[in-house]
Amino acid sequence: MNYELKHKFDCSQGAIRAVRHNVDGNYALVCGSDRKVKLFNPSKKLMIKMYAGHGEEVLDAQSSCDSAFILSGSADKSIIYWDVSTALPVRRIRSHVAAITYAKFNEDSTVAISGSRDNTVQCFDIRSRSLEPFQTLKEAKDCITGLLVTTNKIITSSLDGCIRHYDIRAGELTCDKIGISITSLAMTSDEQCLLASCQDEIIRLIDIDGGEVLTEYKGHKGSKDYRIECGTTKGDGYIMSGSSYGQMIFYDFLEANIVKRLPISTENSIITTFSCHPTENEILIASRREIQVWDLSDTVEISENED
């Protein structure tokens, strides 16, 4: 596994809080501390549109399944449903009483789902004019730190150390108690396992059906003050994590040992967010104000760095 830095570009929007590919991977949404969402073509380092309307920093965003709309969530306690082409808000919803940590669409992008620091997850029918949620999930005892939406489930993680599975079709709730505050949640591409990044600087691989911890990945240094994301490479060959010292860490999925330390920042800045291309071996990694575009390469060898 060798990675080559293709290029990098400054997003000019303060500290980057989240970077997300759209559904086909041709474009990327970048959320900034300057209260804006920007749409980029990362291969050309070209900004296409800017979406300004939030009152505080934007913490998450997602493109709809047809890439015609964007959903963004902010520390100003609101989510905004944007028209991509006009860059105008179609609907602004302010139902939470604390910052929005995650904003997601369901599979066909007819429902907006938001997680918040007010310990709740709310669901909105964005086809209607109602600004009230049609369902509120109140079971979490602390801040929502992860939100995943599949065809049949809404899966959340919280600082209370629990992962909750809401089965939409059966109307059932299953709770897996990890016991350690969870700071980030991801799913493997085969949707069989979850990755929970915890405050004890361990990433836990959890079986979705049974809730058992299958593997623990140790060695990266996290931070209790930042949401450091985790995930998998294409095909689930490696586990990835940001770190508090300027590196992306790669673990072997099966052996759970560190196989690569990818140097991102010479200033040892915290690497909190990244996005893997949905079909290609490309990763967008945010470091402070800039986005770095990394690609697989058989000709470049990156040496391992010690802590």
Residue 299: which pLDDT band, with cuts at 50, 70 and 90?
Answer: very low
CA 108 to chain centre: 19
The reported pLDDT for the residue numbered 257 is 94
Structure-derived torsion over alpha carbons of residues 186, 189, 190, 196, reported in degrees to the nearest 10: -20
Predicted pLDDT of residue 297: 57
What would the pLDDT profile of 12-49 be if each residue is shown by its tens digit?
999 999 999 999 999 999 999 999 999 999 999 999 99
Q: Please state, in angstroms and rounded to a whole number, the distance separating the CA atoms of residues 124 and 64.
A: 14
Other C-beta atoms closer than 10 Å to the C-beta of 127 total 10
Whether CATH 1.10.1060.10 fits 3-296: no
| Encoded tokens for 294 | 């990394």
Instruction: Indicate the residue type of 150.
Output: T
Spatial CA neighbour of 253 closest among 211, 193, 178: 193
Nearest Cα residue to 271 out of 290, 246, 292: 246
- CB contact at 8 A, 124 and 111: yes
In whole angstroms, what is the distance from residue 82 CA to residue 87 CA?
A: 6
Which residues is 245 bridged to in the sheet?
A: none
Taking all residues of the chain, what is their mean pLDDT, rounded to a whole number? 91
What's the maximum distance between 2 C-alpha atoms anywhere in the chain? 55
CA contacts within 13 A on the Cβ side of 267: 6
Return d(Cα 251, Cα 97) in angstroms, integer: 38
Instruction: Give pLDDT tens digits for 100-125.
Output: 999 999 999 999 999 999 999 999 99
- Averaged pLDDT for residues 183-198: 94
Q: Examine the pLDDT at 303 and tell me if it is beyond 70.
A: no
